[in-house]
Amino acid sequence: MMTPQVITPQQMQQILQQQVLSPQQLQVLLQQQQALMLQQQLQEFYKKQQEQLQLQLLQQQHAGKQPKEQQQVATQQLAFQQQLLQMQQLQQQHLLSLQRQGLLTIQPGQPALPLQPLAQGMIPTELQQLWKEVTSAHTAEETTGNNHSSLDLTTTCVSSSAPSKTSLIMNPHASTNGQLSVHTPKRESLSHEEHPHSHPLYGHGVCKWPGCEAVCEDFQSFLKHLNSEHALDDRSTAQCRVQMQVVQQLELQLAKDKERLQAMMTHLHVKSTEPKAAPQPLNLVSSVTLSKSASEASPQSLPHTPTTPTAPITPVTQGPSVITTTSMHTVGPIRRRYSDKYNVPISSADIAQNQEFYKNAEVRPPFTYASLIRQAILESPEKQLTLNEIYNWFTRMFAYFRRNAATWKNAVRHNLSLHKCFVRVENVKGAVWTVDEVEFQKRRPQKISGNPSLIKNMQSSHAYCTPLNAALQASMAENSIPLYTTASMGNPTLGNLASAIREELNGAMEHTNSNESDSSPGRSPMQAVHPVHVKEEPLDPEEAEGPLSLVTTANHSPDFDHDRDYEDEPVNEDME
DNA sequence: CTGTAGATAAACAGCA
DNA sequence: ATGCTGTTTATCTACA
């Protein structure tokens, strides 16, 4: 059973679901899978990236001579670059996740192999760096961790079920338990890299254990916290599993994006000089950007991209990524508008991925304040939140909102006051804010004009079941987007985020729906995303399967309180 | 060009 | 006095 062979996601899910194996066994299994997949993926990825870059260079040379074609090509390239960036991001995230949990350790000899030859020219510096860190972290952990492996998953894991796991170490916090004070600097916290105490689970003065984020003044208190709050128990184990799920989702997403990238490359190889591509940019843009980003995919907004609205491009790294041509790393006050909505991610996997992404990367979420506030409120058990709880939600869910508190908090208050859809309700313990769903929908009545019947449908249907369901249903109806009911419902966070995102999609979708739903030959933007099919069973097994209930239990375990300490940014936040 | 919506900034009042 | 909460106004930008 432990043969290091890549099993299918379904199999993995099955195993996870049935829980026939002990958590430890599962983890070991997952490690294997992840390490294997990761290696494969990275190899492929680098190959493709290299190819692509060469292709782009060629194209650029050609395009320089043919002004007319240049535009198309440029557009395609932009989309393409986005895709690649996304891939990078995904890779980074993936590695980060694995690394953060200590799930990933790579055999010292192996990882460099596919990299070395490429390293000279093409590999993004951050990836190289990452590899170095991963490998060095491995050796560090291996040498130190072996000496005093205290009570942690590794110990139990290795001793109980997988004695032969020498190449893969699953070790969430061996180093911390073992008083390893100087840890290999992790890319995770760029701004903290100079700090002597750096830990993948510690950054910005908060514990980065998934869903925790307790404030720890210094590294010592963090260690204490880690040992007391995240010792080996059911909860930690569950959370660990959840994190594995997250990683798995990322992997799935990565696989899909790779496919897409492949298709794009194939397409460009074959047709890059074909004149037919004239109307293409539009379709290309809509489908591609829908999946992610590329505000610059629109030719008009040339050097202007004020920030990186949605593109999961972590500012985590120092060097600009190789393919980036424009400055993609600014994170500042910006004004994003509807254009952003075209960039909104769509699939369930995207959502999961992005949720995790926004939690960790200081990238501005592509949603309006109103949508976010609504989301926060709808996510709450009672569908009502105090202002402070809303603040907390923002900081919890989006790394971006862990800074510039004065600005966005003001904006939140402003939005609460301004929009009729937010209703203040006097409560025993003060005032809470609720959402008037009808009002919220009213905000842009004409926008859905492309589909009047759907509006009625939705408005009557969401009448007043739970706001969440209403929102989801409405969104589903409006956008004809398949909703992975099990997944979304299983996990309020994902579900609601999904609904938020779909909400934001309204505008964009209405567009594409009314204007071009059938104008694109084989791939309308919607189809490009997913086959239409509403609720119930998870669609293609790679998508939404998975015991998301797991996520729920872990993320919302009874004693899981995150509203505890979300004072603004953990004080000393004045980087930049 | 105009209207609308969102983001941001800021002034201000009420309250604890 | 201070900080938080909530309201309101103004300005700017993006977009249809």
Residue A31: closest CA among A155, A168, A144: A168
> Which nt sits closest to A370, CA to C1'?
B6
Domain presence at residue A55: yes
* Tokens representing residue A424 in the block: 């203040």
Q: How far is the CA of A455 from the C1' of C6 (A)?
A: 33
Q: pLDDT at position A200, please?
A: 76
User: What pLDDT, on a 0 to 100 scale, did the predictor assign at position A34?
Assistant: 52
Q: What does the pLDDT average to over A555-569?
A: 36
Q: HEC profile for A164-190?
A: CCCCCCCCCCHHHHCCCCCCCCCCCCH
- Please state the rounded mean pLDDT for residues A434-450: 64
> Strand B: which positions are within 7 A of a protein CB?
5-11
Beta bridge partners, A199, equal A202
Nucleotide nearest residue A447, measured CA to C1': C16
Q: Which of A231-235, A298-302, A388-392 has the lowest mean pLDDT?
A: A298-302
3-class secondary structure for A280-308?
HHHHHHHHHHHHCCCHHHCCCCCCCCCCC
CA A572 to CA A576: how far, in whole Å? Answer: 12
Residue of least CA–C1' distance to B15: A430
State residue A409's pLDDT score.
92
**A151 inside domain:** no
- Burial of A541 by CB count in 10 Å (0-12 exposed, 13-18 middle, 19+ buried)? middle
Is A32 inside any structural domain?
Answer: yes
The pLDDT, as a whole number, for residue A408 is 92
Query: How do residues A277-300 score in pLDDT, each as one tens digit?
Result: 333 333 333 333 333 333 333 333
Residue A312 has pLDDT above 70, yes or no: no
Q: Is residue A392 part of a domain?
A: yes
Domain for residue A223, yes or no?
no
- A147 pLDDT band, cuts 50/70/90, is very low
What is the maximum alpha-carbon separation in chain A?
71
Alpha-carbon gap, residue A6 to A20, rounded angstroms: 19
Q: Which chain C nucleotides are covered by protein, judged by CB under 7 A?
A: 4-10, 12-16
Residue A388 scores a pLDDT above 60:
yes
State percent of chain A over pLDDT 90: 3
| Of A42, A75, A100, the domain-final residue | A100
Q: Which nucleotide is nearest to A418 (CA to C1')?
A: C7
Residue A426 has pLDDT above 70, yes or no: yes
Residues with CB under 7 A from strand B: A 333-337, 367-370, 406-408, 410-411, 413-415, 419, 443-444
CATH of the domain at A403: 1.10.10.10
* CB of A335 nearer than 7 A to strand C: yes
C-alpha to C-alpha distance for A482 and A532, rounded to whole angstroms: 5
Question: A48-80 pLDDT, tens per residue?
Answer: 555 555 555 444 444 433 343 444 444 455 555
Amino acid at A473: Q
For residue A327, count other CB atoms closer than 10 A to its CB: 12
* pLDDT confidence of residue A320: 30
Q: Report which residue is nearest nucleotide C13 when distances run from CA to C1'.
A: A335
Helices assigned H by DSSP within A386-430: 387-397, 405-418
Most confident stretch, A20-29, A196-205, A301-310: A196-205
Please tell me the distance from the alpha carbon of residue A183 to that of residue A163, in angstroms, as a whole number. Answer: 26
- What's the total number of domains in chain A? 2
Any atom of strand C under 7 A from CB of A431?
Answer: yes
Distance of A420 CA from C7 C1′ (whole Å): 13
Mean pLDDT of A305-322: 33
Helices (H), A467-516: 467-479, 485-490, 492-516
pLDDT in tens, A158-170: 333 333 333 322 3
The answer to whether the beta carbon of residue A271 comes closer than 7 angstroms to any atom of strand C is no
Q: Residue A34: which domain range?
A: 21-100
In a domain, A40, yes or no: yes
A412 has a pLDDT exceeding 90: yes
Domain stop point among A416, A443, A470: A443
Is position A248 within any domain? no
A239 contacts A30 by C-beta, under 8 angstroms:
no
| Pair A509, A524: CB distance under 8 Å | no
Does at least one atom of strand C sit less than 7 Å from the CB of A367?
no
**Between residues A513 and A503, the one the model is more confident about:** A503
Would residue A402 count as lying in a domain?
yes
Q: What is the pLDDT of residue A414?
A: 92
Whether the predicted pLDDT of A416 surpasses 90 = yes
**A565 confidence band (pLDDT: 50, 70, 90):** very low
User: A237 CA to C1 C1', in Å?
Assistant: 49
Mean pLDDT for A80-88 is 55
Domain end: A36, A66, A100, which one?
A100
Measured between alpha carbons, how far is residue A172 from residues A199, A244, A490, A554 in Å? 11, 12, 26, 16
Closest nt to residue A364, judged CA to C1': B7
Q: Which amino acid makes up residue A361?
A: A
